[in-house]
A and B are shown apart, each in its own frame.
Chain A
Amino acid sequence: MSNKKKKKLTPIQQEYHSLSKNSEPKRPVLVNVLHAFLAGGTICLIGQGVTDFFIWNFAFTEKSAANPTVAVMIFISVVLTSLGLYDHIAQWAGAGTAVPVTGFANSMASAALEHRSEGYVLGVGGNMFKLAGSVIVFGVFSAFVIALIRTVGTMLGGA
């Protein structure tokens, strides 16, 4: 993508691009990765605790406990977002808070809060999926294609 763009630029613009790229602060990849690992692991650890809570206290199995667990994690994430705490954690954790389902909920809750001043229908309703929408679109479409291949495959194989 960047190569295609580069061809359209004048030599001076290209020079500027390489200059600005060189003066960009280097991303501390190793530190970021370590933070992401610790934060993401901790969130999953809490999730495992919630899962076991549902298994022990209610009649859930290992498999069926996943759904209420996700709901609880989403609830915690929305509360932390509402209190303005999630962003502080996310700054430290990077992908560690973005990749778990809590990050999905955070993107929805923060969009809902941010656009609240534009009204409930156009602001909250219209913008809630602004960031989460791409996840749902690509998730659903890829799942559709995969399920189609698998289903047609078994139909042809079984026939």
Chain B
Amino acid sequence: MSRWPAIDELAADVKSGKIKAVELVKQSLKAISDNQEFDAIISTLEGRALDRAAQIDKQPAGRLAGVPFIAKDNFLTLGGKTTAASNILRPFEAPYQATAIEKLEAEGAICVAKANLDAFAHGSSTENSDWFVTKNPHDKTRVPGGSSGGSAAAVILDMAPFALGTDTGGSIRLPASFVGAVGVKPTYGRVSRSGVVAMASSTDVIGPLTKTATDAALVLDVMSGRDELDSTTIEKAEASYTDLDFDWSGKKIGVIKEYMQEGLDAGVKAVIEGSIEKLKSAGAAVEEVSLPSLPLALAVYYIVCPAEVSSNLSRYDGQRYGYSAKDAKNLDESYELSREEGFGAEAKRRIMIGTYVLSSGYYDAYYKKAQTVRTKIINEFSEAFSKFDFLVGPISPTPAFKIGEKTADPLKMYLNDIMTVAANMSGNPAISVPAGLAGNLPVGLQIIAPMASDHQMLAAAKAFEDLG
């Protein structure tokens, strides 16, 4: 397998005519076909990708000219199916594309394939995919993390220079950490959600998975900004994210106490402590900081998220598109059977929890209370960032676990998200940067930044990479 050069170099070579976009797409398709055993990819967009590449070769232009990429299969794309790895969307062909895809295409990037995920992004391992389980490129008996597990594995398997993921409770950062990729969860609203199958609308964000922070900065730069089609998007203050000049000296770093306590795998702990030492040597002022409500973030997440999931999945009713039960005798049966047969166990579990917490009489006790705690978490972050430039900690208590290890116990699976959900609840940007190995398994360092400081965070991540 051949490695990809930096994305800006690749685009420059396509523009100068040194390499052809068609060749890059073919290289990408070959890597996909050579690595089928990892089950990272649901479908390729070969026809459309080669057509676009041929077009681009005629007149190469754009910051991502001819650069192939892979989108998680919950991004709506033309030229193939968009299934969100779910049975209920198995036949669905999107008539429009996600804004993020449109923006990347406008700069010359080419979407070559759709990556596996936990169906509807519900999960932390891709084991909830209605298709297949993606294998960790470092150890085929282990999960790549999830839900953007296919995207993360694809990047490490060099199927494309970058891939797109979505992060609702850690779904970009966790797989990035498990496979050793850079995974960016931008500030909420940084990238338009239009055309991305919604999971939990108030925490869903879109971000890149790459090999380096520099590549991630370029991709995020292209995708970010206000979008008329998504009212929750925010204005981008900086002209560009690609200037990553940064110096750790004098920077104030808070190590999140609640993430470094018992339960943390010794290998992971060693990698994170080693990273902290590197930051200190680089001149950063490191201190422990406590955000006492963080341990509640997971409980809050598993109320707010299923509530929104149960609502967002209502539209999959078998009446207009997607899977529709053939044997239904009347409307009610059509609803029941289409949803019973179309949704997997995890989607059903979340629909049930969400329906319960939104029911009259329970709303105040669950949803309202969860939102109150959510506000508390936001306030604690904001207070911490009045003292610190960044907060750091692990992404997950353990490195990649064995396939099947946690599938029998949903609660155990949910605990994987314990260190990532808080940033989704608060909206802060966070990133997973490869920090070392626990045994032979990658471990990511989580850097959480103040609201809207995506650029600073990427610069810090690049500077961390440079510390070696």
A-B interaction? no
- Where the two chains meet, the residues of A that have a C-beta atom closer than 8 Å to any C-beta of B are none
- Where the two chains meet, the residues of B that have a C-beta atom closer than 8 Å to any C-beta of A are none
